[in-house]
């Protein structure tokens, strides 16, 4: 009891601080691994046509059995339909999407593009 701290105390404190640091880094890595990349999920009719990560620029022509098509372009982290065979072109006029649960729908072709794991939109659910 003469001294305030002995060697064992120092070791204990160092071990605890090291454990705290390891846990901190471990939790951070774990959280990063669990955060999924945002993807654009393309559904044609009943089935999922494909999943396209928003961080890769890609141009995909979604072709359907009856010959109709939609051209999906992923650029700058946003998904957009730039060209389509449908008569009204609503999907083409729709702005590019990137936020959680945003969708572009092409009713004539039964094609839906939906964002999964996207960033939440800043607008709350009442106004959006």
Partner 1 sequence: MKTRKIAYLGLLIALAFIFSYVESLIPVHSGIPGAKLGLANLVIIVALYTLNDGDAFLLSMIRIVLTGFTFGSMAAMLYSLAGGIMSLLVMVAAKRTKRLTLTGVSVLGGIFHNVGQILMAILVLDTPSLVYYLPALLLAGSLSGVAIGVLGAAVTKRIRKIVIW
Binding positions for partner 1, rule: CB under 8 A: 1, 3-6, 8-9, 12-13, 16-17, 19-21, 23-24, 27, 31
DSSP structure class, residue 107: T
Nearer to partner 1 by C-beta: 8 or 127?
8
**What is the SS3 assignment for 111?**
strand
Among residues 4 and 123, whose Cβ is nearest to partner 1? 4
* Integer CA distances (angstroms), 117 to 19, 106, 112, 114, 120, in order: 32, 22, 16, 10, 9
At its nearest, how many Å lie between partner 1 and the CB of residue 69?
44
Classify 8 as helix, strand or coil.
helix
Residue 119 CB, nearest approach to partner 1 (Å): 20
What's the min distance (Å) between Cβ of 21 and partner 1?
7
C-alpha separations of 21 from 25, 30, 31, 36 in Å: 6, 14, 15, 25
Shortest separation between residue 35's beta carbon and partner 1, angstroms: 13
CB closer to partner 1, 31 vs 127: 31
């Amino acid at each position: 009891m003469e001294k305030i701290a002995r060697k064992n105390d120092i070791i204990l404190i160092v071990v605890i601080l090291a454990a705290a640091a390891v846990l901190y880094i471990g939790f951070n890595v774990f959280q990063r691994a669990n955060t999924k990349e945002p993807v654009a999920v393309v559904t044609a009719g009943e089935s999922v046509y494909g999943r396209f990560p928003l961080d890769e620029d890609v141009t995909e022509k979604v072709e359907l059995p009856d010959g109709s098509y939609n051209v999906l372009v992923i650029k700058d982290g946003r998904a957009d339909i730039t060209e389509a065979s449908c008569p009204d072109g609503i999907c083409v006029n729709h702005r590019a999407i990137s936020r959680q649960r945003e969708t572009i729908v092409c009713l004539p072709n039964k094609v839906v593009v939906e964002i999964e794991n996207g960033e939440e939109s800043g607008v709350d659910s009442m106004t959006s």
